[in-house]
Amino acid sequence: MLAGCALAVMAPQAGASELVFWSMWNEPEPQAVALRAIMDAYTAKNPDTTFSVVWNGRGNQTKLRAALQAGTKVDLMDQDGDQLIGGLQKQGLALQLDGLVDADFGAALLPGVFDIYASEGKHYQVPYVYNSVNFWYNTEMMAEAGGQEPATWDELLALCDAVRKIDKYALVVDNDDTYALYYFSYLLERKLGVNALVTTFEDKTGESWRKPEVLEAAQMAQSLWGRCIPDDARGFQYPAGQQTVALGDSMGNLNGSWLPAELSSSAGEDFPWGAFNFPAVEGGAGQQADLQVALLSMIALESSEHKDEAVDFLTFLVSEEAQKIIVEQGSVGSTRAGVPWPAMLDEAYQAATNATAISNIYGGVGVNYPDFYTTVLAPQQNKMFMGEIEAQAFVDTMAAETKKYWDAQ
């Protein structure tokens, strides 16, 4: 009888559940610390729900896919949103949220956030970390040059000239095809509109590459060398280029909003960070307030045995309480409207708040068409941007290779 009483005391409470969460973060990272604090806060409000976490790091989706095939039970996972839309979401493994969350759920988030990863109007992801791609720069150096944040391409060139007068360069890049592609991609979007790069590629004839705006975008990107970007930056291997901003040798770098945190140890906590959007181009279809983003999302698994609790946690994840924890402990941008980002990211927060449209980095071409991106687009664009081939040769190559790619499908 005593043994029976002991078992009764030790038995879990009726209705109690443990949510299994596989995460893209490594346990010591600030974002993991923030997520742990959010889970603790949720359990404090919902004592019957606890969490078991596997901190997998960036290969989370790959590891999880194999685990699911082996029958492992998982309720929640997170990853870059664009990777998820081409991965677990595309494979039907993510739980559809429509009808499970309030109809106005997306209205509490920053513009475009809830819809960016929707498929045919159906929602599966809850983006909870916001990264934007902006020009990040030294405000004191800009002031010394007598410059101001440019809204147009011509104003950007004028700023470059002003910074040269104090014997500095306004911009710097690394000879890295990932970061270098930001310039051409953004220029194409400013000329042709949001997602222009992926839309151009998805013309299976390849002829969209021959639009005059494509050649102009490539030529404009090349024109930055010597005027805005020092010629010797062609020899910079990541992260040597962006380090010149931290050290005060260059004014700015086109990069994600993770850059200030990345450079914190070399730039120092008091570095005078500013940020501005990629400028508009004359006669372009895109707007200066259009923004390329890299959002991090969490999903509930379709196979979850605790769907109600998992969806309830996803709702809590983007509550004001939880998003403040993300900002304060994770030092990243919030996806919830009205929750300010860390002070050094304030201008990026304003850009996200006022975004007229948001798109995945490069329009998502790197994730949706990884083989073409890796073997053709990224290396050919880098050769063009670095001046190894002419802009017209780049256009001709892309037109031919795009047709060849689609003919083989």
Structure confidence at residue 7 (pLDDT): 35
Mean pLDDT of 18-36: 97
Mean pLDDT of 126-154: 98
Structural contact between residues 368 and 195, judged by C-beta atoms closer than 8 angstroms: no
DSSP, res 146: T
Structure confidence at residue 178 (pLDDT): 86
**Count of C-beta atoms within a 10 Å radius of residue 224:** 18
**Of the candidates 306, 315, 305, which has an alpha carbon nearest to the alpha carbon of residue 123?**
315
Query: pLDDT tens, 184-217?
Result: 999 999 999 999 999 999 999 999 999 999 999 9
3-state DSSP assignment of residue 119 = strand
3-state DSSP assignment of residue 65 = helix
Place of tokens 């700015």: 252
Structural contact between residues 377 and 404, judged by C-beta atoms closer than 8 angstroms: no
Mean pLDDT of 287-300: 98
367 pLDDT band, cuts 50/70/90, is confident
The two structure tokens encoding residue 250: 């260059």
Mean pLDDT of 349-368: 95
Length of the chain as a residue count? 409
3-state DSSP assignment of residue 247 = coil
**Of the candidates 73, 101, 78, which has an alpha carbon nearest to the alpha carbon of residue 88?**
78
Structure confidence at residue 244 (pLDDT): 98
pLDDT at 73 over 70: yes
Mean pLDDT of 274-287: 98
Determine the Cα–Cα distance for residues 184 and 164; give it in Å rounded to an integer.
Answer: 23
| CA atoms lying within 13 Å on the CB side of residue 167 | 0
Q: What percentage of the chain has pLDDT greater than the value 70?
A: 96
Place of tokens 């990211």: 345
15 pLDDT band, cuts 50/70/90, is low
Q: What percentage of the chain has pLDDT greater than the value 90?
A: 93
Burial environment of residue 295 by CB neighbours within 10 A (0 to 12, 13 to 18, 19 or more): buried
Structure confidence at residue 177 (pLDDT): 84
Place of tokens 């595309």: 90
Burial environment of residue 128 by CB neighbours within 10 A (0 to 12, 13 to 18, 19 or more): buried
Determine the Cα–Cα distance for residues 143 and 147; give it in Å rounded to an integer.
Answer: 6
Domains of the chain: 17-131+295-361 (3.40.190.10), 133-291+362-407 (3.40.190.10)
**Count of C-beta atoms within a 10 Å radius of residue 392:** 12
Q: pTM for the complete prediction? A: 0.93
pLDDT at 138 over 50: yes
Q: 30-45 and 320-330 helices cross at what angle (nearest 10)? A: 150
What integer best gives the mean pLDDT of the chain?
Answer: 95
Structural contact between residues 291 and 195, judged by C-beta atoms closer than 8 angstroms: no
